[in-house]
Amino acid sequence: MINLKRKLNDGNEIPIMGLGTHRILEPAEIVYNSIKDGVRLIDTASRYGNEEEIGKGIKRALEEGICKREDLFVTTKIWLNDKIDPEKALRESLKRLQLDYIDLYLDHWPSVKDYRTNADDPFTLISINDFWKNMEKLVDIGLAKSIGVSNYNVQSMLNILSFCRIKPVANQVEFQLYFYQKNLKDFCDKENIAFISYFPLGHGNNAKIYIKEHNGEFDIFEEDIVKELAKKYGKSVGQIILNWHYCLGAIPIPATSKIHRMKENLDALAFKMEEEDIQRLCKSFENKKIRFCGSKKYCGINLFS
């Protein structure tokens, strides 16, 4: 079993690859079998609407003695319109997950409200300062082991770092070959903030829609250089892409609804590409800037590093 971990800036440890659960099918079954296959990082969010099913999968694995609770690293996120009361939001998530605490609680988007709903409702507004203080209290009272952010660019992170008492331990963002946010990753590395990449394979529902709209173009799995490297190392295309994340120090959380796929994903950690090949991939895609998850519909603006 490959069970590599990275130490966070608060001393806690996070596995270097996990399971993303956004829009996966039969989440309880997938989570259970993923844990059975060695996955120890499970990522969800209140917005996904699947916390209850995720909790069932985790509970089953724990009851069968596959692992202990302290062996798992479970992440969930607070949605925009819940930011007025993070403790209430987290307690509701924990109830759905059937857990006593969360390992990492993330601010899902750097905005204080969902711009698509209740646009003129002043009672959903809260300053980022007050919001983050309330997030810090979750660590103080033991409901969250660590706190962090998601979809934050450099400017948004600088804001929090200017006043926070407890520093974010991680920033979870879209990071894939077509959306290689080098500046943002360099900033996080400098600040010792773990860089968690969602949509790491450049696949999934949003990508499929984008590919279809562009007549089959922008499919990372069909890029010549990626297929060339897969042949060179005797690995699948997906393993080459995930190994690229691993070699760069990012923590990928690929989502899958196929039970066998997670074992293949974990095996991407069993080797390291040569530095020359890593840099070839970086240079080949550094100017693409193709994003599959936009922020404008949530935050009112497009966020880039």
Eight-class DSSP state of 176: B
Give the residue carrying structure tokens 């880039």.
Answer: 304
Distance of alpha carbon 58 from alpha carbon 99, whole angstroms: 9
List Cβ neighbours of 11 (8 Å cut-off, separation of 6 or more).
Answer: none
DSSP secondary structure string, 86-142? HHHHHHHHHHHHT-S-EEEEEESSSSSS-TTS-TT-GGG---HHHHHHHHHHHHHTT
119 close to 91: Cβ distance less than 8 angstroms = no
202 close to 292: Cβ distance less than 8 angstroms = yes
List Cβ neighbours of 45 (8 Å cut-off, separation of 6 or more).
Answer: 22, 51, 76, 77, 79, 106, 108
- Signed CA dihedral, 195, 199, 202, 206: sign only: negative
Residue length, the chain?
A: 305
**Torsions phi, psi for 103 (to 5 deg):** -75, -35
**Torsions phi, psi for 225 (to 5 deg):** -65, -35
At 241, the amino acid letter reads I
Helix axis angle, 86-97 to 51-63, nearest 10°: 50
Nearest-5° Cα angle at 191, 107 to 85 = 20
Q: Hey, which residues are catalytic here? A: 48
**Which of helix, strand or coil describes residue 24?**
coil
